[in-house]
A and B are shown apart, each in its own frame.
Chain A
């Protein structure tokens, strides 16, 4: 019964979404307030219907309803509750439903928070979102029905892949999808603006919070995924330049460019066409990722089941939305007369440089990801584009990007001079140089890590200097505290996000100095790595909820004193006939002591021991970046944009001539 309800709710949601799209577009076109007034309630209706459907699927998973094929394929009665719930989206059908649920949430948010938008704009934005929702609902109903029944019911489910039974992975997809799908809203805003043929400062203000929210969630999602890989996969890797990872990085880069260029639109009414393009692009890249993961056209560890029918359907949707958006762009963007002039050396100039470099990085990642597929298709050549390529090709772009990141915030709008900004940063540069030299002195000639430390300190101290200047820490120290409180949260946010990237780079630089050691130890024997002594005390059997494990006890000592006892495990999941390795990690924040249990042989066990300097800072930095985005989002000016928007039209008559 519950699955049928869920299925019915999906159909209802499809009808509501179509109605929302129709009423919104027609109402806004004809200027009929009555039709437009129907759109927000319809958006809420879509949210309720999709929400109900999703709850039905969760209920089926929690109840382990073995008449539902998705449950049979992915769940099991013995699974812990958390993983029964997260198993809902641990498969193709359920994850698509989650995708649409988040899209419906966005509809609800635009309907709820967008009351201060002009009603025609809101109606059009919701109409576009309705079109997207309708397409994906049709995809689910047509090709990926999560409520499909099996008869006779299975005795029990086949279980979720053990590697997915992890809290980190339970939350990774929802966060990631919040990011991907969040860009649907900026896409909808761009399409609405193109239909109206008007982009102004107010539009910049409306779009920015959505870009910020999507970007922050995407940052968290990517960070969580990378952290999961680090602790779960068991060899200390955290980023592999896998096509599917790249597919999440691409909208992140485009979104990052978007939220910076939207500032220029908001403050200077420049870069309008470009910003609209980025808003379209960010979602286009999100959809591209969805297509790549689910169509089977690429060679990736993360790829879902490939089914040509699904691939063709998603490609159709991709072409409809992306092609439609870009066609509208080609046709209508001409109408948006560019206004605003800017000097190369100015805040807006720095933001243009930021966009240029970010988009170049995105281009490299995009081309590198798609190149093997197209080389195969067009040239018949099988090539691999892997981490060595991406590292080599993006580094020369990342270096100036990071360099400019710290300088940009010191540039005033309109017209600035480089020298005063640099003068404020000389001590930052000195500190960064000191860090790099220290690294070289301690670790020998290691260019990568030294460059990383320079960049990290440059960004972190640069963000601090920016903050210190804004609150007048040095000019008027006594008033500084009050000024810090009065400072707009957006300023806190940008300093924190920039500093956060610095913290991440600090972690990356540290990981560049990571060392590891492989050793065969018998109980009582020990091995030394990076100043720590690892002593194996023994290996015993252990039992988990749905697995049996071998559990080692490893005593870590430094200068003969006990530091910590670690318990790396090897888990055997009988049901899935799989073994996973649970690394034991102890972090001192300065380094991670990371021990993995290997094979048992010759009366001993193989231990792989890693010493990963500064590793946790990679994800701490990602968290700070997302927090920075959240702080900016909580800025009063971002939240309450409408009245200010009216005023901005008057702000700068000079540039609108």
Chain B
């Protein structure tokens, strides 16, 4: 093919190199994902909250029947003295048991933690707290689970950090472990308390 030589050979060379370039780029990306899986910075299963930086939805929940703690409404999350943690939990949820000691630690440190019992019978929720200790200063019941959906909750436990302006600053889906406390929650609490 004589016209082959007249066509720009470099263009053809670049074209032939494209697959390699694409494969290399993809490979780098996959490598970064695998590394991220190890460090936790990449998680294909996590769902971010749509409410970060926004105020929580408007809601008014009653306390579970038999509870002597104050209930929780959206108004209670506005104009706060210090950041609070809102925790969705349930007595039937196993990871909530794992999380519980960390919530108790927060209580001892004087961090207000507001609990919302998700799809739980009032007696069961109160029984859970009676057995394991109560970390909450306010307690509400969301038996139908509808307020949780307004918050964007997709499983329990799930926790939201509300700053003094009443905006959601951090959301954690899954149990707050000691590592999560040290790495994420405590630094954030310090930051938003200042």
Contact = CB atoms under 8 A, between A and B. Distances in A.
B1 A330 contact: no
B105 to A, nearest CB: 30
Interface in B10-34: 12-13, 16-17, 19-20, 23-24, 26-27, 29-34
Nearest to A376: B42
Contacts of B44: 296-299, 373, 376
A334 B47 CA distance: 47
A333 B18 CA distance: 12
B35 to A, nearest CB: 8
A297 B42 CA distance: 8
Interface in B42-64: 42, 44-48
Contact of B36 (A291, A377, A382): A377
A118 B48 CA distance: 58
Contacts of B26: 370
Contact of B34 (A280, A312, A333): A312
Given A312-B34, A318-B27, A329 B1 contact: no
Main secondary structure of the interface of A (DSSP, over half): helix
B34 A334 contact: no
B128 to A, nearest CB: 24
B38 interface: yes
Interface string A306-332: 101001100100110011001101100
B29 A273 contact: no
B112 to A, nearest CB: 30
Contact of B4 (A297, A326, A337, A378): A337
B75 interface: no
Contacts of A330: 13, 16-17, 19-20
A311 B34 CA distance: 7
B163 to A, nearest CB: 21
Interface in B37-96: 37-38, 42, 44-48
Give chain A's interface residue range (CB within 8 Å of chain B). Answer: 35 or more
Nearest to B46: A382
A504 interface: no
A580 interface: no
Nearest to A281: B19
B19 A382 contact: no
A370 B22 CA distance: 13
Nearest to B43: A376
Nearest to B41: A377
Contacts of B4: 337-338
Given A291-B30, A377-B29, A382-B47, A296 B37 contact: yes
B29 A280 contact: no
A291 B34 CA distance: 11
Contact of B30 (A277, A297, A327, A382): A297
A338 B5 CA distance: 11
Given A298-B44, A319-B27, A329 B36 contact: no
Nearest to A656: B1
Nearest to A291: B30
Contact of B37 (A297, A329, A333): A297
Nearest to B22: A326
30 contacts: A277-B19, A280-B19, A281-B19, A291-B30, A295-B30, A296-B37, A297-B30, A297-B37, A297-B42, A297-B44, A306-B37, A312-B34, A315-B34, A319-B27, A322-B27, A323-B24, A326-B19, A329-B19, A329-B20, A330-B17, A330-B19, A330-B20, A334-B9, A334-B12, A334-B16, A337-B1, A373-B33, A376-B42, A377-B42, A378-B29
Interface of A: 273, 277, 280-281, 284, 291, 295-299, 306, 308, 311-312, 315, 318-319, 322-323, 326-327, 329-330, 333-334, 337-339, 370, 373-374, 376-378, 382
